[in-house]
């Protein structure tokens, strides 16, 4: 049984002091529990080490995809292959950040990789800021949390500047309209970039202009002029861009090749984002203690989880019993994608029967831990729960 520590004092005052008032809206702060998961120092260290090791493993798996030309198996559109290879072969294209979703790690259970949200991972504000403010509001200090997300993300932007001296330190952040949660995540990324020395602007993706000959442009509302920015962060999935804006993929390929701009996260991130990478990891590292068996068909004699290659927030997930019967399912908009089957593993639970999935952010290294809490399948109704190390 998972252990929880009451944190009765709301972090609202601390959030206001930090200038993060947007976390106090009706869709944000109530999403935080008034308690935290108790994690031992040894468990926190194990999460840190696991995510570092898993990142090395997914890089090896990505190399396997490229070397063996297995892009189609991963569901990756042909139009993206050239850009993936371009960004993979140029170390200046840093993978900015992602989040490993993990089962176990507490309550005596081994850590197991569920998936890697490598492209457009969210939960950044809750992990980096809100749980920290909650900790401080209840009289605890930094030593009681595995949480250096903001500092590590800032370090990644500093590294980007150091490795790309031929580009101007100008960053355009983009998200899709009408997704306030995405705006909050992008705001945090922008703060980290400013701290590192970037000039930062924001606009929704439908307002951004792209030119294969000149680069990426933002229209300054103050004077109506179009201004070129050399770095572009998009909280928009690569596969969605490829499906909805195929011409844009060609333009981005040209401008990255000509060093007219750098895109974050890079296109090769889609290698990690496709859940087919879980099958390739199992091929490369069979029976590795951090992995669960994964195949393109249900696992004989084992309970498994059916996932679509590019599903999000638990959509289009089915849990199958060992005899193939269905235990639970969640519908969604991603049902046209191919499927993989991952060995089912139970998540730790609390006394009320809620399940807990750990999320460990990775930004050049493991940098922060948080938990999502919900039912058997964690969907977009799941809550966020912070943690206390003691």
Rounded CA separation 165/96 (Å): 17
The Cβ of residue 375 has, within 10 Å, a number of other Cβ atoms equal to: 15
C-alpha closest to that of 103 among 142, 54, 143: 54
Rounded CA separation 284/299 (Å): 18
Q: What is the pLDDT of residue 284?
A: 98
Q: What is the pLDDT of residue 32?
A: 67
C-alpha closest to that of 230 among 219, 215, 243: 215
Residue 40 corresponds to which tokens in the numbers above? 């031992």
List 328's β-bridge partners, or say none: 319
- Tallying the residues shown for the chain, one arrives at 390
Rounded CA separation 126/35 (Å): 14
Rounded CA separation 263/253 (Å): 10
C-alpha closest to that of 147 among 170, 178, 126: 126
Give pTM, 2 decimals: 0.95
Rounded CA separation 105/84 (Å): 33
Return all residues near 267 (Cβ < 8 A) that are at least 6 apart: 80, 83, 84, 86, 87, 238, 252, 256
CA 236 to chain centre: 12
pLDDT average per 10 residues of sequence, the chain (390 residues): 91 74 53 86 98 98 98 96 98 97 95 97 91 92 95 98 98 90 89 97 94 95 94 96 95 97 98 97 98 96 94 79 86 80 95 94 98 82 90
Return all residues near 196 (Cβ < 8 A) that are at least 6 apart: 154, 155, 157, 158, 160, 161
Q: What is the pLDDT of residue 256?
A: 97
List 262's β-bridge partners, or say none: 231
Q: What is the pLDDT of residue 197?
A: 98
Q: In what order do the strands lie in the sheet with 339-343?
A: 294-295, 339-343, 304-308, 317-320, 326-330
């Amino acid at each position: 049984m998972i252990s929880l520590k009451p944190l009765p004092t709301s972090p609202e005052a601390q959030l206001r002091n930090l200038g993060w008032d947007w976390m106090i809206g009706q869709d944000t702060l109530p999403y935080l529990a008034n308690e935290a998961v108790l994690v031992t120092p040894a468990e926190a260290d194990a999460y840190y080490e696991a995510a570092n090791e898993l990142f090395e493993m997914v890089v090896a798996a990505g190399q396997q995809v490229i070397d063996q030309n297995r892009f189609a198996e991963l569901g990756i559109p042909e139009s993206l292959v050239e850009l993936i290879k371009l960004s993979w072969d140029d170390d200046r294209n840093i993978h900015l950040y992602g989040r490993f979703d993990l089962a176990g790690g507490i309550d005596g259970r081994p850590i197991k990789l569920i998936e890697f949200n490598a492209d457009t991972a969210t939960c950044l504000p809750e992990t980096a800021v809100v749980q920290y403010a909650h900790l401080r509001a209840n009289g605890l200090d930094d030593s009681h949390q595995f949480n250096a997300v903001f500092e590590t993300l800032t370090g990644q932007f500093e590294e980007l500047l150091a490795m790309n001296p031929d580009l101007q330190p100008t960053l355009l952040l983009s998200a899709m309209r009408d997704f306030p949660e995405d705006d909050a995540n992008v705001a945090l990324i922008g703060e980290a970039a400013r701290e590192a020395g970037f000039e930062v602007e924001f606009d929704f993706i439908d307002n951004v202009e792209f030119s294969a000959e000149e680069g990426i442009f933002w229209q300054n509302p103050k004077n109506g002029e179009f201004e070129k920015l050399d770095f572009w962060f998009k909280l928009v999935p690569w596969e969605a861009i490829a499906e909805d804006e195929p011409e844009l993929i060609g333009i981005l390929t040209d401008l990255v090749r000509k060093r007219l701009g750098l895109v974050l996260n890079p296109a090769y991130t889609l290698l990690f984002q496709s859940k087919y990478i879980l099958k390739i990891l199992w091929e490369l590292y069979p029976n590795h203690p951090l992995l669960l068996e994964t195949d393109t068909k249900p696992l004989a004699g084992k309970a498994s989880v059916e996932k679509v290659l590019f599903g999000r927030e638990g959509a289009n997930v089915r849990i199958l019993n060992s005899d193939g019967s269905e235990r639970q399912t969640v519908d969604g908009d991603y049902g046209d994608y191919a499927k993989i089957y991952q060995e089912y593993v139970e998540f730790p639970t609390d006394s009320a029967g809620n399940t807990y999935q750990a999320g460990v952010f990775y930004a050049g290294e493991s940098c922060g831990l948080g938990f999502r809490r919900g039912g058997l399948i964690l969907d977009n109704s799941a809550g966020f729960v912070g943690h206390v190390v003691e």
